[in-house]
Amino acid sequence: MSGVFDRWLGGQTSVAEAPLAVGLQVWLDEQGEVLRLSGPLRTLLAMPPQHARRVQDYLQHHSWLVLEGDPADWQGQPLDLDFRTVHGHALHTRGWLQRQAEGWLLQLFDIGDLLRAHDHEGQRLSLQRLAGDIGRAVRDCGEERLAQVTGEQLQRLVEYWQADSVRLMLLEAGVWRSHADSGDDWPWADDGQLRPWLEKYALRGELDASERYELQVLCGGLPVSLLPYRLGPDIQACLLCVASGAPPVHDPGERLLQALLDPLLARLRQRQLQRSDQHLDALQRQLGAGWWEWPLQGPLQLDPALAASYDLPREITVEQWLGRVHPADREAAQLALEQLREGRALSLSLRLHEHAPQISPRWLHWVGQMQGRQVRGFLLDISALKAQELQAGAARARLENLIASSPAVIYIQRYAEGALHSEFFSASLAPMLGWHSDSEQARQPGLAVHPDDRSLWLERTRTLLRDGQARCRYRLRDQSGGYHWVLDEARLLRDDLGQPVEVVGLWLDVSEATEAAERVRHSEERYRVLVEDSPAMICRYRPDLELLFGNRPLADHLECAREQLAGMNLGQWMSDAQRSAFQQRLATLTPEQPLSSAEICLQLPGRENAWWVWADRGLFDAQGRLQEIQAVGRDNTEVRRSQRQLLQGAKMATLGELATGLVHEINQPLNVMRMAVANTLKRLENGAADTDYLTDKLHRIEAQVERAARLVEHMRVYGRRSEPERQAFVAWDAVEGAAALLAEGLRGKGVALHIVAPESALTVLGHQDQLEQVLINLMINARDALLERQPQAPAIRVSQQRIEGRVCLRVEDNAGGIDPRLLGRIFEPFFTTKPAGVGTGLGLSVSHGIVEAMGGSLEVLNGPDGACFCILLPLYSAS
């Protein structure tokens, strides 16, 4: 066999030494044509086509390079050839070529096992090196880089296994948690989703097919492998491996996982122990606890943290220790030390002596026991417990005093043989009922119950024994024969087996409250009559505006029967905007501010619009949620109509005052059109009118007609009544409308109107025609002041600013300003500085009311050159 392995490994052997039967024998002619095949391996070969008979036709292509030239060229060298087989994989062989008669004999052995063993050894060494590198990396890294290094080693495993991603899960305090992963961008499920599968896997050591499929779906639909790490019989860690290819690992992986987790878990345990030590030290410092030792013949040894906490040396003699003990506890401490010498255990609470009398002494619990020839024990700060004992004692004394002085009677009834027997009554019994605690009434209270209430007393006892608690109200007869209404609240106490022991309860005299409730009932009846007969509208409704109750005046306004009000929705008579604003106002009600009022507009049957002044009060539950609204309203329609008529009259007065300027403004386009027509007719008479000339003149006439139409339309819109509903509009449009009506008249009186166009359009909520009316009033007042004082260059300036979420329209003049003494009265109704018969004094008052109705304010101040009126309006947003 040595000759065979020599040839296998490339050695030389004579023909005579060749065995008669090898793996494969191939007889060749001088040109390398295959003459015959024999040997056990020939049945595995894939046959070439019939016309192909060279030995290369049996080989895989990469083996052709070995057989270059004729067979004579192949002699004397080992030949490694890979044959094609019927199974599809390669047949790895090694052999040699020998002269055989007039041809050649190629003898070959199967070396597949040898190659696989070689590959396995290489993988083993590679695996060993990788495991060593992983273990050293985890052992040698700093504490702060442990998590990062663990993730890097997981990435190395991903590369070695040719996987997509891995995640390391550890069992910490009985809960599976993710510790680290390979850092790949992969849709891993979170710990909460993975935990149930890991718990099943740790319990059984495997997952069934359906569980594996569910886990695969949870991890992006890719195959998931679970590699466990065991400490003894239990699984303490698990590596989840996801791979888009199959299978992801070249080896079972236990060795690599062990190389990673042995040092990692050791370091985690070490970290946990360090943290436990730190927590224990911190706990001892917080509790003021620590150990102490006493070798009997030497000083006491104290825990360093304990000694620092009490400002003591680490070694202290018995005499020094007793000197630190409070004088009241010093004798007890000496006796306890003597008992220690006799072998008894030490357990004593004592105080430390504080030199400052204002400082409360610290209480310690001193425990020790003889162990061999020395005593070991611990000290524990129990100052907080002692303070609690003192507080509990004081609280108990206060409770006893409270029971003795309480107006309520506290009683105890003992349970025996299915009945309740009175055992204790507090001192309030005599002041309330005039009974003595040993009287017949106290022993048997049922005898003093009013005859009409005895059924309540019996039901109270049955409820107590059945449900464990009872609350009822009945009458008890006092010592003088009168009756008191008593509120009885009692609870049944049971033992550990659930058997009744005693009843603890109290009696509260509620005679006044009961009588008051009866008076309230009669009062509510009178109130109901008052509500029904009230001229005001009174109702109750839910937050969704569904009516729960309404009185007759409300039914009369809504033109229905009072019985039909319940179930109707108050919002059905409102527009969408009014209903939205109404519900937003209700949303602002809180238990701290439950009141709100507003004026609402309704579209009632048979009426154009109705205006009600409406006041709401919200009722809330214990959680602060709005449950119900109580409302009172009165009809304000006539007042509203009067206000609208006043505004309309002010508009008409303004239009009348502007009539001269408006006539001139309309006359101008008429003059232009008249001149255009005259020139056109003259051209036509002379026969010199061409098409271009006529077209130009007609366009000019059309433009003037449009100009006059716009002015007339604006006057028509401005003069009509305002819509009941407020609309969103651009504030600057009102400025341009007012300027269109006033510009020509101001120019005719020598007053310059400067309109400073804004950079952006700002939207407000209200009525554009009313805002125009305010601007016209302000500009007319400025014009009158300028004409009265006649400055050198009279001018009115109108501009727009945005100030903290509001629009500011400024109307300024250079007439010198307003007398400061008049600024406070300038918006009063009928107040005017103009001569009698010139002004009504309503312009600024009406303007002030219009701006306030839009949620804004109208302000006036004196600037450097004259008066400045500021119209401040809130910005409107559709959201």
441-493 pLDDT, tens per residue? 888 898 899 999 999 999 998 998 899 999 999 999 998 888 999 999 999 99
Q: What is the pLDDT of residue 871?
A: 92
Q: Are 264 and 256 in contact (CB under 8 A)?
A: no
Q: What is the side-by-side order of every strand in the sheet holding 469-477?
A: 419-425, 409-416, 500-509, 483-494, 469-477
Q: What is the pLDDT of residue 34?
A: 85
For 672-731, the pLDDT digits (tens) are 677 767 777 777 777 766 777 777 767 677 666 666 666 666 555 555 555 556 788 898
Closest CA to 410 of 367, 442, 364: 442
Q: What is the pLDDT of residue 649?
A: 59
Q: What is the dihedral angle through the alpha carbons of 86, 91, 93, 97, rounded to the nearest 10 degrees? A: 30
Q: Where are the beta strands (DSSP E) in 248-324?
A: 290-294, 300-302, 315-316
pTM score, two decimals? 0.35
DSSP 171: E
The DSSP bridge pattern shows strands 752-755 and 795-803 to be parallel
Q: What is the pLDDT of residue 361?
A: 80
Q: What is the pLDDT of residue 408?
A: 83
C-alpha–C-alpha distance, residues 405 and 815, integer Å: 81
Q: What is the pLDDT of residue 836?
A: 44
Helix (H, G, I), strand (E, B) or coil at 208: coil
What residues have CB less than 8 Å from 786, skipping those under 6 apart?
751, 794, 795, 796, 813, 814, 815
**Low-confidence residues of the chain, pLDDT below 50?**
1-21, 246-250, 836-838
Q: What is the pLDDT of residue 870?
A: 93
